[in-house]
Structure 1
Amino acid sequence: MDLEKYHQLALQKQVEHKKFLASLKKKAPKNLDRIVQRIHEEVFSEIDCLQCANCCKGLGPDLKEADITRISKHFRMKLQEFEDAYLQVDEDGDKVFQCMPCPFLGPDNLCDIYDMRPKACREFPHTDRKKIYQINHLTIKNTLICPAAYLFVEKLKKEIK
């Protein structure tokens, strides 16, 4: 998968994508959630995340207390021990991994903690959300990192226009 190609395409289409997503906020089709779900499924039948893992290599998830508790239990570690070993607090006050790529990303792009991965990881790139227009800023940002997010916006644009 040519990540640089997708990144460049996303950069070139930023303004167009922002305008399109903003138009959904103003006047979304009544069946938008159904369309979004269908296109999300279509995109992920074409894109193999294991060929990419760009999100795991460069985007640190915001780990919530439930995530930290679940993962630390998996490793049979005390919460503080897990936090000291893996986490730091970022400039926004969020708990994130100390370094990237994710410490649980294997050399085969498989997640070592897939069944207990953080909620932010499970939901990324958020292209199956209801009322997708509520997260336009996030969708635009994700198109720069995730080929599936870029394709999602492109297909959604074609479907709705």
Structure 2
Amino acid sequence: MIYTEENIEAFNEQARLKFPENKKFFDRLKNKKIKKLDEAFHPVHEEVFDEVDCLKCGNCCKTTSPIFTDIDIDRIAKHLRIRPAQLVKEHLHLDSDHDYVLNVTPCTFLGSDNYCSIYDVRPKACREYPHTDRKNIAGILPLTLENTKVCPAVFEIVEQLKKAGLGNKGGIVE
């Protein structure tokens, strides 16, 4: 199912209900140290994102904050023609991990049409989200598991990998 603003609540409920199952799946992936995990994730990522239009959803921008690095802050401030300190003062705070994150959700820079007003200079975390095409995905399995609760595309990627038998005896890439 392709999720949009109109049916995102159905996704949120489905993701919540499937989270324990997904956690077990990720535990199996981690415990078995499955080789070539990237080779399993990347083609499914491409397939799912051929069907997904993030602008019809925007759940990530509406519910979470990316981490803003110093480089991101400098680039965005320059784009907005303000000082980095002003960007931080008006829009960001340090979280418990001492990372800069947004003060509010939805994202300050998200328009009502789900377009990002700073798209060309957006934070690195936004450019790389949801990270399912990243090299060494084994290193970010906890993040990917958390993203199944935020991003319908990640949820769908994981569902497809489970159906394909990834992590099961005799399944793909064991």
Q: What TM-score does the superposition give when structure 1 sets the normalisation length?
A: 0.91
Gaps of 5+ in 2: none
Q: What percentage of residue pairs aligned between the two structures are identical?
A: 48
Q: 2:78 aligns with which of 73, 78, 83?
A: 73
2:52 aligned to which of 47, 52, 59 = 47
TM-score, normalised by the number of residues in structure 2: 0.85
Report the Cα distance in structure 2 between the residues aligned to 1:5 and 1:85, rounded to whole angstroms.
34
Structure 2 SS opposite 1:13: helix
Aligned: 1:24 with 2:26:
no
In structure 2, C-alpha distance between the alignment counterparts of 1:84 and 1:13, rounded to whole Å:
39
Give the alignment partner of residue 111 of structure 1, picking from 113, 116, 121. Answer: 116
The CA distance in 1 between the partners of 2:82 and 2:125, in whole Å, is 21
CA RMSD of aligned residues (A): 1.6
User: Is 1:9 matched with 2:34?
Assistant: no
**Matched residue type, 1:137:** P
Partner Cα separation in structure 2 for residue 157 and residue 65 of structure 1: 38
Gaps in structure 1 of 5+ consecutive residues: none
Distance in structure 1 (CA, Å) of the matches to 2:54 and 2:122: 15
Query: Which has the higher mean CA deviation after the structures are superposed, 30-39 or 148-157?
Result: 30-39
- 2-side partners of 1:46 and 1:8: how far apart? 21
Q: Moved runs in structure 1, 4+ residues, more than 6 A?
A: none
Does the 8 A contact of 2:64 with 2:105 survive in 1? Answer: yes
Which residue matches 2:99?
A: 94
